[in-house]
């Protein structure tokens, strides 16, 4: 039995992993990817800085490999991302003219979706647009185009790839709070205007023992509008020792937390699936960004399943 099979059986959900194509150089990575996961997100290789590092010069290497791998394993792909305040080259972030920025955005989206439009299930068109207080985050997009950039990017993307589900993806919206309420208002206004928006991504980079108690209620804010809500970047970080490992008590708590998140998805008829942001601790972004924390994933540094793996499988 495996995560993807369990997710698809009664509930018809996918269970996904975010990875980079070169992780497969380790012969231990592919067998777990192929046997446990049915959806892939390119962890970095569809980001602007990787895929169009210079205007009009495209690097399809990594993204081609992930899309080809998905075809081979009959998996789906969630593209990630177009408009973000990070990992965007300076030739984009230095633009101050709205017409030029819109032109560059349109060229970029048309190129990426022109190549992959028929191969993708969904795309995080807008990534992390809000501050925690619910205001629009400063970025080249909001600074030059105003809040309208969201509508502009979604409209361009839908025209380029009408079958791809278009998402706004963010963190700290997994509970009912200022940020998720502001996003629900934005989403409702977009839908009222007929803007092509199909889903909201709950990143779900959680801290062990600190899950919001109202994930289901927060999901409902969006699914009541007719949107999907996917869990897009799940990991649950915990305090670790000097070798990057957590103790058994903490791992048990973490395992319960993983099950809670999966259950929230299963409890909502419009949550199509869960994606973990890397399946093993050896390929996690957490230790590099959050000092003293880690052990956030389903498998340990030696590709052995942890309690969180078994609790996730049992919850599905
Ligand atoms: C992270 C990647 O995992 C890292 O490899 C990279 O150095 C930085 O970005 N929110 C997102 C993801 O939407 O794109 C981020 O991924 C993690 C936080």
In this structure, which residue's CA is closest to atom 5 in ligand 1? 285
SS3 147: coil
pTM of the entire predicted model: 0.98
> Residues with catalytic annotation?
233
If we measure between CA atoms, which residue out of 28, 33, 58 comes closest to residue 46?
Answer: 58
* Mean pLDDT over each residue of the chain, to the nearest integer: 98
Q: Residues 240-288: pLDDT tens digits?
A: 999 999 999 999 999 999 999 999 999 999 999 999 999 999 999 999 9
Atom of ligand 1 nearest to the CA of 205: 18
Helices 178-192 and 215-223, interaxial angle, to 10°?
10
Tell me the best of 23, 43, 204 to mutate to test the pocket of ligand 1, counting ligand atoms within 8 Å of each CB and taking the most: 43
Task: Select from 41, 233, 276, 290 the residue to mutate for testing ligand 1; criterion: most ligand atoms less than 8 Å from CB.
Answer: 233
Residue 7's Cβ-side half-sphere holds a number of Cα atoms within 13 Å equal to: 22
Q: pLDDT digit string (tens) for 75-109?
A: 999 999 999 999 999 999 999 999 999 999 999 99
Q: Which residues line ligand 1 (CB under 6 A)?
A: 43-44, 127, 203, 233, 285
* pLDDT at 3 > cutoff 90: yes
Residue with CA closest to ligand 1 atom 7: 285
Atom number, ligand 1, closest to the C-alpha of residue 80: 14
What average pLDDT does this structure show over 228-234?
Answer: 99
For the cut 90, the answer to whether the pLDDT of residue 135 exceeds it is yes
Q: Which one of 19, 23, 44, 139 would you pick to mutate in the ligand 1 pocket, going by the greatest count of ligand atoms within 8 A of its CB?
A: 44
Q: At what angle do helices 307-315 and 248-266 cross, to 10 degrees?
A: 20
Please give the residue range of the domain that contains residue 226: 3-315
pLDDT digits (tens, 9 = 90+) for 155-201: 999 999 999 999 999 999 999 999 999 999 999 999 999 999 999 99
Q: Tell me the CA–centroid distance for residue 290 and ligand 1, in Å.
A: 13
Query: Ligand 1, atom 9: nearest CA belongs to which residue?
Result: 44
Structural domain count, the chain: 1
Percent of the chain with pLDDT strictly greater than 70: 100
DSSP secondary structure string, 177-216? SHHHHHHHHHHHHHHHTT----EEEE--EEETT---TTHH
> Is residue 297 classed exposed, middle or buried when 0-12, 13-18 and 19+ CB atoms within 10 A define those classes?
buried
Ligand 1 center to 125 CA (angstroms)? 15
CATH number at residue 298: 3.20.20.80
**What spatial distance separates the first Cα and last Cα of the chain, rounded to whole Å?**
11
């Amino acid at each position: 039995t495996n995560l993807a099979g369990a997710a698809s059986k009664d509930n018809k959900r996918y269970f996904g992993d975010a990875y980079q194509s070169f992780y497969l150089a380790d012969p231990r990575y592919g067998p777990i990817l192929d046997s446990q996961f049915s959806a892939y997100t390119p962890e970095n290789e569809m980001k602007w800085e990787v895929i169009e590092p210079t205007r009009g010069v495209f690097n399809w290497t990594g993204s081609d490999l992930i899309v080809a791998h998905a075809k081979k394993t009959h998996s789906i792909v969630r593209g990630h991302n177009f408009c973000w305040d990070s990992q965007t080259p300076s030739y984009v972030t230095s633009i101050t003219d709205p017409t030029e920025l819109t032109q560059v955005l349109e060229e970029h989206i048309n190129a990426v979706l022109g190549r992959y439009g028929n191969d993708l299930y969904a795309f995080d068109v807008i990534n992390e647009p809000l501050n925690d207080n619910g205001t629009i985050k400063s970025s080249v997009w909001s600074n030059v185009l105003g809040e309208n950039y969201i509508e502009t990017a979604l409209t361009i993307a839908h025209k380029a790839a009408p079958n791809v589900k278009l998402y706004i993806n963010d963190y700290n919206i997994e509970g009912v709070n200022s940020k998720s309420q502001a996003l629900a208002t934005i989403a409702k206004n977009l839908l009222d205007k007929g803007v092509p928006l199909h889903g909201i991504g709950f990143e779900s980079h959680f801290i062990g023992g600190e899950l919001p108690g109202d994930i289901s209620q927060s999901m409902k804010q969006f699914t009541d509008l007719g949107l999907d809500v996917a869990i897009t970047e799940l990991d649950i970080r915990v305090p670790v020792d000097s070798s990057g490992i957590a103790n058994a008590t903490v791992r048990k708590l973490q395992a319960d937390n993983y099950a809670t998140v999966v259950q929230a998805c299963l409890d909502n008829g419009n949550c199509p699936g869960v994606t973990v942001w890397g399946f093993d601790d050896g390929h996690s972004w957490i230790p590099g960004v959050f000092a003293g924390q880690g052990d956030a994933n389903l498998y340990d540094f030696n590709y052995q399943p942890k309690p969180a793996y078994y609790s996730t499988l049992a919850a599905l």
